[in-house]
Structure 1
Amino acid sequence: MKRRNFIQKSALTTGAISLASSLAYANSMNQKPKVHKYNLKYAPHLGMFKNLAGEDPIDQLNFMADQGYTAFEDNEMRKRPIELQEKMAKTMKERGLEMGVFVAHEIHWKTPNLASGDKTKRAEFLNDIKNSITVAKRVNAKWMTVVPGHLDLKLKMGYQTANVIESLRQASALLEPHNIAMVLEPLNFRDHPGLFLTDSPQAYEICRAVDSPSCKILFDIYHQQIQEGNLIPNMEASWSEIAYIQIGDNPGRKEPTTGEINYGNVFKWIHEQGYDGILGMEHGNSREGKEGQLAVIEAYKKVDSFK
């Protein structure tokens, strides 16, 4: 066995033994194990710990809270049965989990949507926003993700930008009375070619033009490492408009420590800004099964260990 693989496997085995020992000791003393306290609000998603917690969404939420996580995000929340939404909201409230983003509307990945200025498509978008407000209230969400969709190659960029801004202004008017914000997510050219919104300066410009507390930036570190790099300076430049952050290492879009991003330094900088928002763990696990899920937990403890 290669030395690197041996060390990694040994570390994971040690972590698993430590976790099991803590649980056994706590049970023997009729006490709950000590919950790890993170510096920032990292938010897992359903499926990330299913081998450790089980398939049931409520069991997974309880497991997240038991591990010390204080937030949760769920892109698919809008499409889940109302009964499940209510059960999840109740569990999150009881366990101190803050609800993060869910996707607010149907995203047009291949055809122009908001950039086109088409009034029918704008009306569909605004109707989705109205329906998502109801969902947000049900699950106590403060943020919802918006992706303006594909470029309209028949229009100059200035016209497309004006069309997007007008749609977002109308959406903001719906959201503001409820103190809910849509967060615009720029996506990278490699995974999502042809989309209108790709860069943090572009998202910053649009948010400044919309000029609403209900229209802010979702800065996805994985996407922006690919798209523009220079992570900390770009976050600093657009910081006044950033309301939500998501995580994924590059390459691979897996947990921190598996790629090239120095997440320890990035998280330290975010913490130094006084950021009290959520950091969504929107990535896969680098390894399968329980071992891989334990690796995610240990990775976050490592990169969050700054002082």
Structure 2
Amino acid sequence: MKRRTFIRNSSLAAVASATIPGIYGKDSGMPPNPFRLNFAPHLGMFQAHAGKDPMDQLRFMAEQGFRAFEDNEMKNRPVSLQEKMGRFLSDNKMQMGVFVAHTISWSKPHLASGNPEIRKVFLDEISASVEVAKRIGATWMTVVPGHVDMQQSMAYQTAHVTDSLRRAAEILEPHNLIMVLEPLNFRDHPGQFLSESPQAYEICRAVNSPSCKILFDIYHQQIQEGNLIPNIEACWDEIAYFQIGDNPGRKEPGTGEINYSNVFKFIETKGYSGILGMEHGNSKSGKEGEQAIIEAYRAVDP
């Protein structure tokens, strides 16, 4: 399958319908009001309203009109809970977003080192993540190459990372799964190998697989490089997933300097129908803060 066809089909495959039958009965008096864009909250974001139980939180998200969900920690959750959440998402026509596919190295050289033992552990974790994805109906999983190796040229490090990702793509391609590479900003995550969208673009082109794409985190890239819309345009063919957070503060849209209304309009005009992960905190605590998040996303939903 051609690369562009693959990613387009993956993005469109699970777009939710306008009804949520598992939540709303015909006599409920509560017609759903789904968001137009596939905004994806995470666990803990609505805990004041829904309580600590993950299923109650997921149910609350659906009731508020969210059509997607992401969970960085999904791989570490009990298999029984993964399966239960997967069934809920399927029954309620919600799309599963990213989970983190492997152990991220925050302080020591990882894939950039070229160490064959480190590569093997990484590939074993990717293989295990295939099973997680099957349980929860996921298409995308986050990959972060880890810390730089200060004792090697960046060119050699790039070659090592590319080689590891090619091997990972071979594991994922038969299952139509996509690892999305997330560049991280230098302020929050100093020393990470992958920090800029052009760098991620270069690596994805080198790996040359429909299973290796970019996770464009708007918060990280505003800090790292700015120039958001032109950089999104330049990387467009390799972007499979977006995440959100305003800057400064990494809170919901409207709390910082990013013009999310314009960014979302641009993304929509490009034909994007995939997920926009809400990877940020709440600017206010309690139910008031949670309601503020819902209102903030209503305000920027095109």
TM-score normalised to structure 1 length: 0.89
**2:297 is the counterpart of 1:300:** yes
Aligned runs of 1:12-31 on 2, under 5 Å? 30-31=27-28
Match of 1:96 in 2: 93
Quote the offset at 1:276 in angstroms.
1.1
Percent identity, please: 66
Match of 1:210 in 2: 207
- What RMSD in Å do the two structures reach over aligned CA positions? 1.2
**2:109 is the counterpart of 1:112:** yes
Which amino acid in 2 is paired with 1:41? N
**2:234 is the counterpart of 1:237:** yes
Alpha-carbon distance in 1 for matches of 2:291, 2:34: 17
Alpha-carbon distance in 2 for matches of 1:255, 1:222: 10
Alpha-carbon distance in 2 for matches of 1:291, 1:269: 30
Alpha-carbon distance in 2 for matches of 1:30, 1:95: 17
Which amino acid in 2 is paired with 1:81? P
Aligned runs of 1:157-236 on 2, under 5 Å? 157-236=154-233
Residue by residue over 1:243-302, the C-alpha shift from the partner in whole angstroms, topping out at 9 and shown as x without a partner, is 000000000000000000000000011111110110000000000000000000000000
Alignment check: 8 A CA contact 1:62 1:95 kept: no
Aligned runs of 1:227-306 on 2, under 5 Å? 227-304=224-301, 306=302
Instruction: Work out which of the two has the higher radius of gyration on C-alpha atoms and give 1 or 2.
Output: 1
Runs of 5+ consecutive residues of structure 1 not aligned to the other structure:
1-26
Aligned runs of 1:113-152 on 2, under 5 Å? 113-152=110-149
Alignment check: 8 A CA contact 2:34 2:67 kept: no
What's the secondary structure of 1:238's corresponding residue?
helix
Aligned length: 278
Q: Which runs of 4+ in 1 moved over 3 A?
A: none
Alignment check: 8 A CA contact 1:65 1:96 kept: no
Alignment check: 8 A CA contact 1:114 1:149 kept: yes
Residue by residue over 1:140-190, the C-alpha shift from the partner in whole angstroms, topping out at 9 and shown as x without a partner, is 100000000000000000000000000000000000000000000000000
Match of 1:44 in 2: 41
Quote the offset at 1:35 in angstroms.
1.9
Runs of 5+ consecutive residues of structure 2 not aligned to the other structure:
1-23
Alpha-carbon distance in 1 for matches of 2:234, 2:58: 35
Alpha-carbon distance in 2 for matches of 1:31, 1:277: 29
Alignment check: 8 A CA contact 1:42 1:279 kept: yes
